[in-house]
Amino acid sequence: MKTAIVTGASSGIGLAISTRLMKMGYLVYGLARDFSKTDIEEGNFIKIVCDITNTSQLIKTVKDIKEREKDIFILVNNAGVGFFGPHEQLNPKQIEMMVVTNLQAPLIITQLLLREIKRTKGFIINISSITAKKSSTHGCAYGATKAGLSHFGTSLFDEVRKTGAKVVTIHPDITQTSFYDHLDFEQGDDPDCFITPECVADTVELILSQREGTVVSELTIRPQKHMIKRKK
């Protein structure tokens, strides 16, 4: 059985991707800080409590998985955090959290697993954001971290493509998840104004279904309509 590792797997996009990979026959190691509210059948899903912003803990966690599994085929760098507003209103801790979670941790975990992914000719799938591709005046720091992740994916694919490893970047637009719980805006009420975590999971399945030799290296998912609702 091939193995997948998914960060931010306790809810939202990460949980949807993990569930889909399980249905596709993968053994999934899900990393997250807290699984207390995660509703998923254990089956081929192994919950690993790990704070990916703690580099020493992340290194130990990946090392332990590598010792248990010899055929790691998929890494999904999904965990992310966002703080929005005028840049001068952000505090240094919020900026640091975004840089470490959205960019530093994916770079580190990818480095730790790259030899295995190259050996299995597997996939590194980075969940970036639509904000990586456009100006974001309400979240320039968040957009910068996601743009960095996207550029990393593009460059890494060119670096390793001759080995058979695939590097893919997905840019989801506004998605109906708990990501917006602490923000001052959220998706509109019309279902045409947002995508769902299952939409992203569908995209992952599409990426994995390509014939050997064909890679969907970058993909953007957007809702039909654009509508953002400010919270009162």
CATH code of the domain in which 151 resides = 3.40.50.720
Listed in sequence order, the residues at least 6 apart from 133 whose beta carbon sits closer than 8 Å to its beta carbon are: 147, 150, 171, 220
Dump strand ranges (E) for the chain.
3-7, 27-32, 45-49, 72-77, 123-127, 166-172, 185-187, 218-221, 228-230
Angle between helices 140-160 and 105-120 (to 10 degrees): 20
Mean pLDDT, the chain, rounded, equals 93
pLDDT at position 51, please? Answer: 97
What pLDDT does 89 receive? 94
Its domain, for residue 155, covers: 3-230
What are the structure tokens assigned to 119, written together? 């050996």
pLDDT band at 125 (very low <50, low <70, confident <90, very high): very high
How many domains is the chain built from? 1
37: pLDDT strictly greater than 80: yes
Average pLDDT over residues 186-214: 91
Place of tokens 């904000």: 131
Which is higher by pLDDT, 228 or 55? 55
**pLDDT over threshold 80, residue 204:** yes
Give 209's contacts (C-beta < 8 A, 6+ positions apart): none
- Give the DSSP per-residue string, 122-158: -EEEEE--GGGGS--TT-HHHHHHHHHHHHHHHHHHH
Percentage of the chain exceeding pLDDT 90:
81
- Per-residue confidence band for 187, with pLDDT thresholds at 50, 70 and 90: low
- Provide the token pair at 168: 């893919």
Residue-level pLDDT at 153: 98
Give the per-residue pLDDT at 143: 97
Model confidence at 229: pLDDT above 70: no
pLDDT of res. 179: 73
pLDDT attached to residue 182: 65
φ, ψ of residue 6 to 5 degrees: the values are: -125, 125
**pLDDT classification of 232: cutoffs 50, 70, 90:** low
Q: How far apart are CA 22 and CA 182, in angstroms?
A: 30
Instruction: Note the pLDDT of residue 163.
Output: 98
- Predicted confidence (pLDDT) per residue in 8-26, tens digit: 999 999 999 999 999 999 9
Closest by CA to 210, choosing from 163, 160, 170, 166, is 166
State the first-to-last Cα distance of the chain, in angstroms, to the nearest integer. 49
* C-alpha–C-alpha distance, residues 121 and 71, integer Å: 10
82-114 as b/e: b if 16+ CB within 10 A: bbbeeeeebeeebbebbbbbbbbbbebbbebbb
Q: How confident is the model at residue 198 (pLDDT cuts 50, 70, 90)?
A: very high
pLDDT at 231 over 60: no
- Which band of pLDDT confidence, cut at 50, 70 and 90, is reported for residue 90? very high
- As a whole number, mean pLDDT of residues 54-68 equals 97
